[in-house]
Each structure stands twice: as structure tokens, then as C-alpha cells.
């Protein structure tokens, strides 16, 4: 690499709707119709793939591909009919299919590596910082914590909160006052509510979650993440 480091920032907002169907005429026979949003989702993937290809071609044509850090991620996940239509929508729940997102980082100085663990969109800035300081590892141990909190807000009113600690996850709806507890090791799909079976453990988690919710309720924003809120 040269002494000059080029940074290329790219933001993509995918549209779900009929506009994407035009890109899928040749692929319609391969698309499942079991889920109504499948064609829109696959259309988004196809469109995004084309855009990334165009971007990489541009970097190569300009001769700056080896001086570029490329980070690809999403703002949220999406369900595929695992739950009711409302429960599948982002902004309404904090199930894992909504919280889990892809994260791809390309740097010409780093070898290929796959990482698993508690990670957050907020950590992207730490990745960039680590790269700028020429660290050999882009992942810092401070990015991980045993406790993770996610919050969905509607205006100034908190709607849904989630907390993960070790193998357990607590979901609490602050409008309907419902509580769900899951053992993510035995039930990664979050289908079995074991809140009552481990009431004492989840109640302790709930107290910590309520504290963070009270703080978030004073702030603006619709979707807020506090991955290391309890450190």
C-alpha cells in the first residue's frame, strides 16, 4: 500500500416493492413463494450485489482498491415468517432475526478471518480506529461484553427492551407489560418462554434493563443500542 489511505463511504437504503421485481425476471423460477416478502428480499440482495460489484469495479479502475477499507453491514435483520407479521417487522421486536446483521470488513493488509461473538454496529468506529493505528488485529477485546442491551423507542416513549446475559435473553414490552425469557443455548430460535422457570434470574436482569430503559427514555431517537451499557 502507498502512504496515502483512501476511504470510500457508501450508504445503501434498499426499497421493498415492485421496483425490485424488474431485476428478478430471470430468477423468478428460483424464488420461493411460501413467504410474501421473499421476492422483495431476494430482489434487494440482487440489487445490492450489483451495486457492490459496480463499486469494486470503480475502485479497480481507479487503481485504489489496495488503498481502500471496505465495510459492508446492515442496519437490521428481517424475519421470514417465523412469527406473526407484526413480530417479523423491524422496529416492533428485538428477536435475534431482527438484531443479527452481516458484517464484512475488507482491508488489503489483513488475512481472511471469521469471527463470532457479541458485536454491535457501534463497534465499526473502533474497527476503523484500530486500522488507522496499524493494529494487526481489528477486533479489540473491549468490543465484547457478557451483557448486551438493545432498545426500541417510539418518540420519547420506550416500547421494547432486550437484555442478553450469558445464555439467557430477556424481552420486555413496556407498553403491554409482557416479559419473555429464552435460553439461547437450547432455544436459539426463541420459541420457548422460560421466564417463569427462571423467574429469579430474569427478575434480576429485568431490574438492570429497567435502569437502562429509564435512561434511554430521556433521549431522542427511535432505535438505540447499548452493547456495553453495564460495563
At 144, give phi and psi (nearest 5°). Answer: -105, 150
Rounded mean pLDDT of the chain? 73
pLDDT at 179: 94
- Residue 180 corresponds to which cell in the numbers above? 419473555
Longest dimension (CA), the chain: 60
- Residue 39 corresponds to which cell in the numbers above? 421476492
Whole-angstrom distance, CA of residue 60 vs CA of residue 41: 29
Strand 168-173 relative to strand 157-165, pairing: antiparallel
With a pLDDT cut of 70, the percent of the chain lying above it is: 61
Q: Which CATH class is domain 147-226?
A: alpha beta
Contact 229/149 with Cβ under 8 angstroms?
yes
DSSP string covering 166-191, please?
TTEEEEEETTTTEEEEEETTT-TT--
Contact 175/159 with Cβ under 8 angstroms?
yes
pLDDT at 43: 72
Rg (CA), the chain: 20
**207: Cα separation from own chain's centroid:** 25
Give the up-direction half-sphere exposure of residue 162: CA atoms within 13 A in the CB hemisphere: 22
| The model's pTM | 0.67
- Residue 123 corresponds to which cell in the numbers above? 463497534
Lowest-pLDDT range of 44-58, 129-143, 148-162, 206-220: 129-143
Average pLDDT over every residue of 183-211? 94
Structural domain boundaries in the chain: 6-143, 147-226
Is residue 160 over pLDDT 70? yes
Q: Residue 132: exposed, middle, or buried by beta-carbon count in 10 A (0-12, 13-18, 19+)?
A: exposed
- 114-137: per-residue pLDDT in tens? 776 666 777 777 777 777 776 556
Q: Residue 188: exposed, middle, or buried by beta-carbon count in 10 A (0-12, 13-18, 19+)?
A: exposed
pLDDT at 187: 94
pLDDT at 180: 95
Q: How confident is the model at residue 55 (pLDDT cuts 50, 70, 90)?
A: confident
Amino acid at each position: 500500500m502507498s502512504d496515502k489511505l483512501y476511504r470510500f463511504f457508501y450508504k445503501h437504503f434498499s426499497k421493498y416493492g415492485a421496483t425490485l421485481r424488474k431485476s428478478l425476471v430471470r430468477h423468478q423460477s428460483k424464488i420461493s413463494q411460501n413467504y410474501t416478502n421473499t421476492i422483495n428480499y431476494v430482489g434487494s440482495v440482487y440489487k445490492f450485489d450489483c451495486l457492490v460489484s459496480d463499486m469494486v469495479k470503480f475502485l479497480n479502475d481507479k487503481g485504489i482498491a489496495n488503498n481502500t477499507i471496505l465495510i459492508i453491514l446492515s442496519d437490521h435483520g428481517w424475519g421470514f415468517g417465523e412469527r406473526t407479521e407484526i413480530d417479523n417487522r423491524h422496529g416492533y421486536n428485538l428477536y435475534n432475526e431482527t438484531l443479527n446483521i452481516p458484517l464484512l470488513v475488507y482491508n488489503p493488509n489483513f488475512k481472511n478471518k471469521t469471527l463470532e461473538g457479541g458485536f454491535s454496529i457501534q463497534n465499526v468506529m473502533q474497527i476503523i480506529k484500530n486500522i488507522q493505528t496499524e493494529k494487526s488485529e481489528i477486533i479489540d477485546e473491549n468490543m465484547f461484553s457478557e451483557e448486551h442491551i438493545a432498545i426500541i423507542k417510539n418518540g420519547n416513549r420506550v416500547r421494547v427492551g432486550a437484555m442478553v446475559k450469558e445464555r439467557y435473553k430477556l424481552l420486555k414490552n413496556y407498553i403491554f407489560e409482557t416479559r419473555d425469557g429464552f435460553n439461547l443455548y437450547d432455544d436459539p430460535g426463541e420459541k420457548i418462554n422460560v421466564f417463569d422457570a427462571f423467574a429469579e434470574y430474569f427478575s434480576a436482569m429485568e431490574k438492570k434493563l429497567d435502569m437502562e430503559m429509564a435512561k434511554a427514555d430521556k433521549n431522542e431517537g427511535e432505535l438505540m443500542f447499548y452493547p456495553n451499557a453495564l460495563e
